[in-house]
Amino acid sequence: MKEPFVDLNSLIDQTTILADMELQAYLASMGKNQKNDFIASNVTDAIDNVKAAKSRRFADMADQVAGADNNITSAEYYLARTSDLLNLTGDVDDVAIKQLSTSDINKDLAGRQYEINEWANFNKLDTLYFLQVLFIVLTFNSFILFLKFNGLVSSSLFAMMAVISGLVAVFALVMRARYTAVMRDSRYWHKARFPKQENPFPTPVTVSTGICPT
């Protein structure tokens, strides 16, 4: 047959009660001097036990305080390192922003310098075109003058041809100067300026009927 389950807590309580009863019976059988000696020895043991418990407790508390102090120190080092990293990242961001700003400024300067160089180069080419026209006119006049000295061309014909060729050169010079000063854009050589035109779509005028909407 299976034995019933034994409750350890009730068994311990019963054992404690029996031990207390045995201790009381032992103390009752002692004389007065024996009781005093027993109490003195137990007091000494109790004091020693209390001292030992306090020592252990103090050591445990000291270890806990030391551990807490180490944790605080580690946390302080961690905060200091974090602050250093934040300052470092801030410095890196500042340097990057300055470099980007410098790059943008250099890019704008390089672009503007390219536009200036392009305008100047094409202006020189346009001037060279006029000089070529002038050279052709002078060469033509020199050839007509050579024919006049040899009697192949009359003076009136030479004068007429010289005036016509001179007018061609003057016309080329005036057109070139006026177009550059008036029509050509001052920043982009290949861009012309046109007069502003009026809006072909006039703004509709709202006519008030004087009737309030209901």
For residue 184, the cross-strand partners are 192
What is the dihedral sign for C-alpha 80, 83, 89, 90? negative
Count helices and strands in the chain by DSSP H and E runs: 3, 0
Confidence at residue 135, expressed as pLDDT on a 0 to 100 scale: 92
pLDDT at 1 over 60: no
Give per-residue pLDDT as tens, 163-194: 998 999 999 989 888 888 888 887 888 787 77
Are 133 and 169 in contact, with CB atoms under 8 Å apart? yes
For the beta carbon of residue 165, count every other beta carbon within 10 angstroms.
19
pLDDT grade for 207, boundaries at 50, 70 and 90: low
Return the structure tokens found at 78.
């961690």
Handedness of CA 187, 188, 192, 196 (dihedral sign): negative
Most confident of 24-38, 69-83, 171-185: 171-185
Query: For position 167, what pLDDT does the model report?
Result: 92
pLDDT for res 119: 87
The span from the CA of 23 to the CA of 195, in Å, is 124
- Hey, how many other C-beta atoms are within 10 angstroms of the C-beta on 137? 19
Please state the φ and ψ torsions of residue 54, each to the nearest 5 degrees: -65, -35
pLDDT above 70 (res 33) = no
Residue 86: pLDDT band with limits 50, 70, 90: confident
What pTM does this model have?
A: 0.45
The whole-chain average pLDDT of the chain stands at 77
The three-state secondary structure class of 184 is strand
Place of tokens 């004091």: 47
Residues 35-63, mean pLDDT to the nearest whole number: 73
Residue bearing tokens 């050279």: 135
